[in-house]
């Protein structure tokens, strides 16, 4: 199947998302073109990706210096690691006409993207995502940032990439748990914008990295995200807009922050959050109980958790949710699913119903 392109339409900052087997070679060609023009570039990757994709990292290394983060996972999205990247860019003489290439999953994209956004007040930035989650979600849209102890992604910047290359061949070395985590974001896209996609996921569970449907599924998710981002790039819409992409994330980020970063993969926490959001939506009559049960069933069918493995303190989860970026006027703001294939935002959710959803998911008083 030939590579396909989805364009994120942002005027003179529009950029292509290339999807298909082997498209990472196009990223190398772009890097070579810039280096040949005298522009110094740098690449950021992680230990696991450097080990699994050593040949490509070696190819990048022939064109530019490569920094491997000190660790894998969410704990790498820290102020210390960000400072290390800044020093790396400065030490290698990266100038304003240079660029940063992020080769990894969502953590590397967020971290390297924020480094590119902030170093010299902004460098060009390219994404070469290596995980399903990054391909369908985090590599598109320009959200970059790091975590604080207080919460997920509380420090960051909107900084759109110059191009994204989603090479499906890279998924061959992705551990099954990581692949499943990416499916949580795929399911989310179906829930907020495409009932047909959700139905396809129900009928073909579980997908795997070389499933014939996967390239078209990735493309559809990118199309959905690109359309939402084009309409509300900086998440400023009073209702709906880019916030809809956070279905399940208010709960999911609370899971991550309370359990400690790394105990749940981001996609696993989102999967639990999607079930909590579905139950909350059913309680508020935004969807039926049967539709909430369908969400839980499709998440389970794609080998994802539907509730906490061990109980987490309810008060700490609520505190984490109150620090969520979507809080406005001191009120928790939730994304609710409206049936299957649509969603809406709400800031008038009774706290007792949010608590009920948390307790059904395994939180304890």
- Which residues are part of the catalytic machinery? 121, 143, 185, 225, 235, 242, 246, 249, 253, 266
DSSP code string of 311-344: -EEHHHHHHHHHTSTT-BTTB--EEEE-SSS-EE
Q: Dihedral, CA atoms, 26, 30, 31, 32, nearest 10 degrees?
A: 100
At which residue do the structure tokens 């396809």 appear?
A: 200
**Closest CA relative to residue 225, chosen from 299, 293, 129:** 129
In what helix (H) or strand (E) does residue 31 lie, and over which residues does it extend? helix 24-36
DSSP code string of 183-225: HHHHHHHHHHH-HHHHHHHHHTPSP-TT-TTHHHHHHHHHHHH
**Closest CA relative to residue 256, chosen from 239, 240, 274, 268:** 268
Which residues, listed in sequence order, are joined to residue 146 by a DSSP beta bridge?
A: 155
DSSP code string of 77-92: SSHHHHHHHHHHHHHT
**Closest CA relative to residue 353, chosen from 298, 278, 245, 288:** 278
List, in sequence order, every beta strand (DSSP E) within 9-52: 15-20, 41-45
Residue 101 near residue 67 (C-beta atoms within 8 A): no
How many angstroms from the chain centroid is the CA of residue 137?
5
Reading the block at residue 316, the tokens are: 């700490």
Q: Are strands 363-364 and 312-313 parallel, antiparallel or unpaired?
A: parallel
User: Can you state the percent helix, strand and coil of the chain, rounding each to 5?
Assistant: 50, 20, 30
328: number of Cβ within 10 Å: 11
Helix spans in 210-350 (H)? 214-231, 249-259, 266-283, 289-301, 314-322
């Amino acid at each position: 199947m030939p590579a396909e392109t989805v364009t994120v339409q942002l005027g003179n900052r529009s950029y292509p998302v290339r999807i298909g087997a082997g498209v990472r070679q196009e990223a190398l060609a772009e890097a070579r073109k810039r280096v040949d023009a005298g522009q110094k570039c740098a690449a950021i990757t992680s230990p696991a990706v450097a080990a699994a994709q050593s040949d490509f990292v070696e190819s990048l290394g022939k064109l530019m210096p490569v920094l491997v983060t000190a660790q894998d996972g969410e704990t790498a999205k820290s102020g210390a690691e960000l400072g290390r990247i800044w020093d790396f860019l400065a030490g290698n003489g990266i100038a304003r006409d240079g660029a940063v290439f992020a080769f990894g999953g969502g953590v590397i994209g967020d971290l390297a993207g924020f480094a590119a956004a902030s170093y010299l007040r902004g460098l060009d930035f390219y994404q070469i995502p290596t995980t399903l989650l990054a391909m369908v979600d985090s590599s598109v849209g320009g959200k970059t940032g790091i975590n604080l102890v207080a919460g997920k992604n509380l420090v960051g910047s909107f900084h759109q990439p110059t191009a994204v290359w989603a090479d499906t061949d890279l998924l061959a070395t992705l551990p099954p748990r990581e692949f499943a985590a990416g499916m949580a974001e795929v399911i989310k896209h179906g829930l907020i914008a495409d009932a047909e996609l959700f139905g396809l996921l129900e009928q073909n569970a579980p997908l795997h990295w070389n499933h014939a449907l996967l390239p078209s599924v990735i493309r559809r998710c990118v199309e959905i995200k690109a359309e939402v981002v084009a309409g509300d790039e900086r998440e400023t819409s009073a209702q709906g807009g880019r916030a809809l992409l956070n279905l399940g994330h208010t709960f999911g980020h609370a899971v991550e922050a309370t359990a400690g970063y790394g105990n749940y993969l981001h996609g696993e926490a989102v999967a639990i959050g999607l079930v909590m959001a579905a139950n909350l939506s059913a309680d508020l009559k935004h969807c039926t109980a049967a539709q909430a049960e369908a969400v839980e069933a499709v998440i389970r069918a794609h080998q994802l958790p539907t509730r906490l493995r061990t109980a987490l303190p309810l008060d700490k989860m609520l505190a984490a949710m109150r620090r969520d970026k979507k809080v406005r006027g001191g009120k928790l703001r939730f994304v609710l699913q409206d049936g299957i294939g649509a969603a809406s935002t709400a800031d008038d959710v009774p706290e007792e119903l949010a608590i009920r959803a948390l307790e059904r998911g395994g939180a304890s008083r």
